[in-house]
Amino acid sequence: LELPDVKDVLVEYRQMQLLYRSALKEIGTKLEILNDEFKFVHKYNPIEHIESRLKSEESIMRKLLRKGVDVTVENIQKYIDDIAGVRVICSFTPDIYRIVDMISSQDDIEVLKAKDYMINPKPNGYRSYHLIVKVPIFLSDKVIPTKVEIQIRTVAMDFWASLEHKIYYKYEGNAPEYIRTELKECADMIAFLDSKMLAINEEVRSIRQEDSRQ
Ligand code: 0O2
């Protein structure tokens, strides 16, 4: 590995942040519009809430080192998909796929990657849907398609992921076996809980629809 002149890289990276901050705003607005429209048409909110953040410089450096590449601005753009990250928290799993379809089919959005960690959970039990997209950012003299990672998950999956994330960092990725086993058990319980809650919700909705027909 080449010893990086991290200071120079960071100066350039800070100029790029304007773009990624703009991309967060564009995606945030798109999601809010979809949620408002959905609420108006179906009297139902697919999105519980939205969080967004720019990845910290420390976390970018750590990820580049983990991937074994030099710290350069080109490598940040090439290897870090989640400089701009938006997290969409939904109530039920079908809402996740609704959001994915609605965002992916927009003309100005280019989907670079889609990872369904709900159909294929990670071995530790992590579940979520990840989309890496490019959204055009209109500057004064040019348009720059800019990468954003959108993580979409249920409230319950989010609860699990935030605890697992804390534990992962606390133990620097080497949590004791019994904690990893318990976390995996919790992940499976959460998947079961999500499916139970969905079934109850659908039951209540169908009763409500029948009532309104009578
Ligand atoms: P942090 O600390 O959240 O910033 P790839 O290059 O595509 O093969 P990458 O970029 O790791 O690999 O992609 P992936 O797996 O889609 O993960 C992207 C982000 O999803 C992670 O960012 C985490 O935020 C989240 N994530 C992925 N796996 C897990 C997991 O097992 N547990 C939790 N809690 N979150 C996860 P970072 O930069 O890895 O981490």
- List, for residues 149-189, the tens digit of each pLDDT value: 999 999 999 999 999 999 998 998 899 999 999 999 999 99
Res. 42: pLDDT tops 90: no
Give the model confidence (pLDDT) of 69-79 as tens digits. Answer: 998 889 999 99
Shortest-distance Cα residue to atom 19 of ligand 1: 82
Give the model confidence (pLDDT) of 114-155 as tens digits. Answer: 999 999 999 999 999 999 999 999 999 999 999 999 999 999
Ligand 1 atom closest to Cα of 124? Answer: 31
Phi/psi at 92 (5° precision): -125, 155
Please tell me whether the overall predicted TM-score, pTM, comes out greater than 0.90 for this model: yes
Q: What ipTM describes this predicted complex? A: 0.93
**Domain boundaries 6-155, CATH class:** alpha beta
Q: What is the DSSP string of 76-133?
A: HHHH-TTSEEEEEEESSHHHHHHHHHHHHT-TT-EEEEEEETTTS--TT----EEEEE
Phi/psi at 138 (5° precision): -90, 110
Query: Does ligand 1 have an atom closer than 6 angstroms to the CB of 122?
Result: yes
Query: Does ligand 1 have an atom closer than 6 angstroms to the CB of 59?
Result: yes
Closest CA to 86 of 100, 73, 98: 100
